[in-house]
Amino acid sequence: MVEPILEIQGVRKTYSARRSLFGRSAAVDALKGVSLAVTPGESFGLVGESGSGKTTLTRSILRLEAPTAGRILFKGEDMARLGPKALRTLRARIQIVFQDPYASLNPRMTVEEIVSEPMLVHRDILRLDRAGRRDRAAELLALVGLSTQHLARNPHEFSGGQRQRIGIARALAAGPELLLLDEPTSALDVSVQAQVLNLLIDLQDRLGLTYLFISHDLAVVRYLCDRVALIHSGVLVEEGPTREIFDAPQSDYARMLLGAAPKVRVPPATPSG
């Protein structure tokens, strides 16, 4: 049996009640005992509507939120027990690609600075000097379909699809094993979505990456993911191989989502974009 690269065990997250000018808000249970496991080399889809708990779970995996209860393990290590040095090392192995390529890139930085920034943060691990970082940045741009001519440019000079490629290059800079893909194509045009999805598939094959793909887009999840879990109001309602979930959903929630989803096929990628 293959050991999971990421294992989430009974994770709960409760946000305490808060006082405001309008009174006291009720406590919110954002996650209610979520458990799942992602195996090395697979694409695992996490699907849910807005407010379902996807973002809270993503932030918990990144240690930006502390779960109220439960454990999150990376390759068998309880992430909550890691000290600052071990946590910094871990963050080189888990990276994220954000939803909005327009908001996720610093407009004041060049592409070289953006892609090289993780190499500086993790310089104790990567041990690259300035020339080495530049060479690595150029390699990463080539890997995502851009060129060294783009290194000196700023984000405003690129299209949305190109910006997302830069974001992917940045996420790969520290040599991660697991990528969290947070709605990485939802802000893009449909034709550009296809190009980015096919790029992600190619990168996974070439680099042996594992993906946790967070989305509300069922067509995209079906195209990319090997397995899928559906989350609703902080509860995992169904999980299994993608084909089984789509062809024979067991829960009312899954049937509702699939019934409401447009029957869209992701087209083959075209060279531009």
- The token pair at 260 is 């409401």
CA 244 vs CA 228, 238, 249, 267: distances in Å: 9, 11, 7, 22
Residue 272: the pLDDT is: 44
Read off the pLDDT of residues 210-245 as tens digits, 9 standing for 90 and up: 999 999 888 889 999 999 999 999 999 999 999 999
Neighbours of 186 (CB within 10 A): 13
pLDDT at position 177, please? 97
Q: Which residues of 158-174 are buried (b: 16+ CB within 10 A; e: fewer)?
A: bebbbbbbbbbbbbbbb
Query: Alpha-carbon distance 248 to 118, whole Å?
Result: 42
For the chain, residues with pLDDT lower than 70 are: 20-25, 261-273
The second-level CATH assignment, the architecture, of 6-17+27-260 is 3-Layer(aba) Sandwich (3.40)
* pLDDT for res 102: 87
Q: What's the pLDDT at 120?
A: 94
pLDDT in tens, 70-92: 999 999 999 999 998 898 899 99
**Sheet of 6-15, strand order:** 28-38, 6-15, 69-74, 77-78
**3-state SS assignment for residue 19:** strand
Closest Cα partner for 75 from 39, 127, 108? 39
Task: Give the global pTM.
Answer: 0.90
- Concatenated DSSP letters of 131-170: HHHHHHHHHHHHHTT--GGGTT--GGGS-HHHHHHHHHHH
Token digits of residue 123: 């310089």
Q: What angle do CA 104, 195, 98 make, to 5 degrees?
A: 20
Token readout for 120 is 């500086």
